[in-house]
Each structure stands twice: as structure tokens, then as C-alpha cells.
Amino acid sequence: MTLLAWALGLGIACFLIWWLLIETEGVYLGRRVVIALYDLVAHRYDRIKQFDEYADHMLVSQALLAAIAPKTDPLVLDVATGTGRVPLLMASSAGFHGHVVGMDASKRMLSVAQSKRIAQGFDSFSTLLRADAAQLPFPAEHFEVVTCLEALEFMPDQAAVLAEMARVLKKGGILLATIRIDTRWMPDRTWNEPKMRTELEALGLRDIHFAIWQEDYTQVWARKPL
Ligand SMILES: C[S@@+](CC[C@H](N)C(=O)[O-])C[C@H]1O[C@@H](n2cnc3c(N)ncnc32)[C@H](O)[C@@H]1O
């Protein structure tokens, strides 16, 4: 009986550790833990994620260029840029003549982004910056495009981050974010479509729509009215 109780306790402890550190990436333990975990996995992040570059080009960079057309030189902010997914996609897109600021709170994720940027020769198209998503160090109405992929659910205050993204977006500008499809494992952290629509409308954003993207995430598009 005692052995069974120990085994049960150990099983529950292992599940809790897995859920807190792996499945939910430290989000219930606070911002510092989230960033520390990203620092820890930064050098393996791209291998773990195995992004489909073709799909990303079609559904992120080409879709953004189409949304902002006829402008080809937009100033883009990628919030929680990680290893530089959006900056590198934009920089390698034919027809993009703008500039992307990629910002993230993890020093090591940014350092991987920096190595890739230099290796691929796209350093003139982008700038990388370490900052917190809830306090964007930019003036109001500064960017034509603001993106935040696969990251909002890891922020302690998603509403504050969205408000910051809306603040720095120019009138007529495009916002692209994502929401998780499976909301079971992160209660109170993952927003569904109606919740996201309500939050964006409250920030004055319009033309809100959701687009199928990949297995785990749906894209959320919105525009700041002129
Ligand atoms: C799942 S990764 C997504 C990275 C990138 N957007 C992509 O699609 O590959 C989440 C990123 O959010 C960043 N992050 C988490 N909390 C943050 C915060 N409060 N401020 C800025 N970045 C944050 C992490 O460091 C990590 O790089």
C-alpha cells in the first residue's frame, strides 16, 4: 500500500513538472520562468519546431505583403520574434523592400536570430531588439505591420500586449497574431475566436478575421481604421 502511494505521488509529481515546464512552457510560473526556458532551448528551437518554410512564405510573408499592398516598403514590428522567423521570412520575400524590427525578451533566442540573419545576409532588412512585449519601446502609430506569432498565450497579460501592439500600429496598418486551437491544456491562458474578436474590437481594430494556418494555431488578422 505504501509503495502504491509512493508510486502514485511520484506519477502526479512527474505529470505536474511536465505540465508546468514542458506542456505550458512555464506560463503558470511567471514571465521569468518562460524566458529562462526559452533561453535554455534557444539553440534547439528551430529543430524542435521544424517550420514549413513554404507554408510560412505563402501564409505569412506573402499574405502580409498582399494585405499591405500596394506598399512594398512597410516598417514591420514582430513581437516575440524568437529565432527571427518573421524577419527572415520577410527579408527573403521577393517584393519586400521594407524593414522588420524583431523584438523578444529572451537573449538567447535573439542571439540565434542574429546568427541566422548574418549567415543569410539579411542584416540590412532587419533590426533585433531585447524588450518586453507589454512595454513596446516605440512611439504610437509607428509601424505599418505588427505581428506576434505563437506567443500571446505565454504573456502574463495578453490584453496589455495586444493594446501595445494596437498602439504602435499606424492607421490603416495590419495586425497579425495567432491563437492556439487546442485550449484544453492551458486554462485561462488561451483565447478562443470570440474572446479575441471582443478584445480587438475593444481596441478599435476592424476587418477582424481568422484564417486556418497550421495544426496548432489559427491566424488572427485585423486592421486599424484610417
Ligand atoms: C513559441 S516562441 C514564438 C517565436 C516566434 N514568434 C515564432 O513564431 O517562431 C515564443 C517567444 O515569445 C517570447 N516571449 C515570451 N514572453 C515574452 C515577453 N513577455 N516579452 C517578449 N517576448 C516574450 C519567448 O522568448 C519566445 O521567443
Residue 109 Cα: closest atom of ligand 1: 27
C-alpha cell at 38: 526559452
Instruction: Assign residue 164 the CATH number of its domain.
Output: 3.40.50.150
Does 12 share its domain with 108? no
Question: Which residue owns the Cα nearest ligand 1 atom 15?
Answer: 154
C-alpha 121 to ligand 1 mean position (Å): 23
**The pLDDT of residue 200 is above 80:** yes
Instruction: Report the C-alpha gap between 39 and 36 in whole angstroms.
Output: 5
What is the Cα–Cα distance from 186 to 154, expressed in whole angstroms?
A: 10
For ligand 1, residues with CB inside 6 Å are 31, 34-35, 38, 80-82, 85, 104-106, 109, 132-133, 149-151, 154-155
Q: Residue 189 has which C-alpha cell? A: 491562458
Alpha-carbon gap, residue 144 to 146, rounded angstroms: 7
3-class SS at 156? coil
Residue 82 Cα: closest atom of ligand 1: 27
Rounded to whole angstroms, the Cα distance separating 192 from 183 reads: 8
Residue nearest (by alpha carbon) to ligand 1 atom 26: 82
Measured from the CA of 132, which atom of ligand 1 is nearest? Answer: 20
Q: 59, 45, 27, 57: which is closest to 157 by C-alpha?
A: 27
Mean pLDDT of the region 217-221: 97
- Residue 220 pLDDT: 98
What is the 123 CA–ligand 1 centroid distance (Å)? 20
Residue 159 burial (C-beta neighbours within 10 Å; 0-12, 13-18, 19+): middle
**Domain tally for the chain?**
2
Query: Are 6 and 69 in the same domain?
Result: no
Domain shared by 165 and 74, yes or no: yes
* Same domain, yes or no: 30 and 101: no
Distances in Å between the Cα of 148 and the Cα atoms of 13, 14, 15, 193 are: 33, 32, 30, 16
In this structure, are residues 90 and 120 in contact, taking their beta carbons and an 8 Å threshold? Answer: no
Residues 39, 91: one domain? no
Check whether residue 26 and residue 54 sit in a common domain: no
Q: Which domain holds residue 58?
A: 49-223
Note the pTM of the prediction, 2 decimals: 0.94
Q: Is residue 76 domain-shared with residue 149, that is, in the same domain?
A: yes
Residue 77 is predicted with a pLDDT of 98
- Across all residues in the chain, what is the average pLDDT? 93
Hey, whose CA ends up nearest to atom 16 of ligand 1?
155
Are residues 59 and 121 located together in one domain of the fold? yes
| Predicted confidence (pLDDT) per residue in 68-124, tens digit | 999 999 999 999 999 999 999 999 998 899 999 999 999 999 999 999 988 887 777
CA of 80 relative to ligand 1 center, distance in Å: 4
Q: Are residues 121 and 161 in the same domain?
A: yes
Q: For the residues 48-70, what does the mean pLDDT come to?
A: 94
CA of 14 to the centre of ligand 1 (A): 26
Other C-beta atoms within 10 Å of 162: how many?
28
Residues 206 and 99 in one domain: yes
The three-state secondary structure class of 112 is: helix
Q: What is the spatial distance between Cα 99 and Cα 114, in angstroms, rounded to a whole number?
A: 15
199 and 108 inside one domain: yes
Same domain, 110 and 58: yes
Ligand 1, pocket-test mutation among 43, 146, 150, 219, most atoms within 8 A of CB: 150
Distance 166 CA to ligand 1 centre (A): 18
DSSP class of residue 125?
A: G
- Helix/strand/coil for 198: helix
